[in-house]
Amino acid sequence: MYFINLILKFYIIVLIFRSIFTSQELYFNPFGKLVASLTEPIFTNLFKGKSKATTDKYIPFMIICIIFLQFLVNLMGNFTSLSIVFLDTIQDNLNFIIVFLIISIILGSGKGIQTYYSIYFYRIGLPWIKFTRRFIKIQDNRIVFPAIILLIFIYGVLIVGLNAILNFIYRGDLFLTGALFKFLSGGVSIIDSLLSYLFWLIIIRALLSWVSPDPRNPFVQIVYSLTEPILAPFRRIIPPLGFLDLSAFVVLIIIEIVRNLLLRI
């Protein structure tokens, strides 16, 4: 069941990437061709003869269908109420999508090291950056952090609203206390997921530093882009000891302390 959910989540990411590629990139770009190979059979059968601009409008509906399919998968062998399974499925997917959008905004912002694939993440994060600038007039990369905060706020509104609606249907009252608890637990879950990914990315970077990786490799560029903004301030305070980067070790300890505090909360 976990493996099926993982595949379905992966396909949501593939659909998001398809939506930001042009028709030419889907046929001539190596990354675009990979995305096309995973999506074109379905789109050709469902939307035969329609342009990409038209089929892209159906992608949000397809993502909703995938989430509903996950809901059906989660129901198998689950003896809890339908509303709880439904809410947990939506919250799990929202957590996953929000974390992906946050990572895309960071990678696309140009902070750290610019990668070959930064332009694609930039396209994914751009609508949220533009939306944030409607409320906060910041024109440079300082808008990244407010955009991330706004994403988490939107996530909270969705979770609280959905929880309140389900409580009203099944209990006859809004029961906002439970909805707010879902929001807080979901927010902690998002932060914990980001810290967990960062923890392993720093470990991967530390391992890569021992083998002198090719700096042009896309994977290496992404790892450095996501970790450099975190490690750089600590490196100015704690200089490397020979080949040993003590700043990475300190950041790993801080991440684990923060994660433990979040779990206690």
Residue 59 lies in a domain: no
Residue 108 lies in a domain: yes
Residue 3 lies in a domain: no
**Phi and psi at residue 117, to the nearest 5°:** -95, 5
Residue 33 lies in a domain: no
Per the model's pLDDT, the better-predicted residue between 139 and 256 turns out to be 256
Whole-number pLDDT of residue 265: 64
Per the model's pLDDT, the better-predicted residue between 251 and 179 turns out to be 251
pLDDT digits (tens, 9 = 90+) for 149-166: 888 888 877 877 777 776
Most confidently predicted of 19-28, 82-91, 210-219: 19-28
Whole-number pLDDT of residue 209: 75
Find the domain containing 215 and state its range.
Answer: 80-264
Is residue 61 scored above 90 in pLDDT? yes
Please say whether the beta carbons of 141 and 109 come within 8 A: yes
Quote the CA–CA distance of 104 and 196 in Å, as a whole number: 16
Is residue 217 scored above 90 in pLDDT? no
Whole-number pLDDT of residue 84: 76
Whole-number pLDDT of residue 20: 92
Residue 144 lies in a domain: yes
Is residue 241 scored above 80 in pLDDT? no
Kindly give, in sequence order, each residue whose CB lies less than 8 Å from that of residue 167, ignoring residues fewer than 6 positions away. Answer: 173, 174, 175, 178, 179
CB burial string 148-187: b at 16+ within 10 A, e below:
bebbeeebbebbbebbbebbeeeeeeeeeeebeebbeebb
Quote the CA–CA distance of 165 and 179 in Å, as a whole number: 9
Residue 27 lies in a domain: no
Whole-number pLDDT of residue 195: 83
Per the model's pLDDT, the better-predicted residue between 143 and 264 turns out to be 143
Least confident of 53-67, 92-106, 114-128, 157-171: 157-171
Closest of 94, 92, 101, 103 to residue 198, by C-alpha: 103
Overall average pLDDT of the 63-82 stretch:
84
Most confidently predicted of 9-13, 44-48, 129-133: 9-13
Per the model's pLDDT, the better-predicted residue between 111 and 72 turns out to be 72
Total tally of structural domains belonging to the chain? 1
Whole-number pLDDT of residue 66: 94
Please say whether the beta carbons of 111 and 168 come within 8 A: no
Whole-number pLDDT of residue 63: 94
Residue 63 lies in a domain: no
Whole-number pLDDT of residue 191: 79
Please say whether the beta carbons of 27 and 15 come within 8 A: no
Per the model's pLDDT, the better-predicted residue between 18 and 86 turns out to be 18
- Own/partner pairs, 249-258, CB within 8 angstroms, 24+ separation: 251/202, 252/199, 252/202, 252/203, 255/195, 255/198, 255/199, 255/202, 256/199, 258/195
Residue 166 lies in a domain: yes
Helix %, strand %, coil % of the chain (to 5): 80, 0, 20
Quote the CA–CA distance of 98 and 193 in Å, as a whole number: 10
Whole-number pLDDT of residue 168: 66
pLDDT digits (tens, 9 = 90+) for 156-203: 778 777 777 766 666 555 555 555 666 666 667 777 778 888 888 888
DSSP-assigned letters across all residues of 53-103: HHHGGGHHHHHHHHHHHHHHHHHTT--S-HHHHHHHHHHHHHHHHHHHHHH
**Phi and psi at residue 51, to the nearest 5°:** -70, 165
Overall average pLDDT of the 27-49 stretch:
86
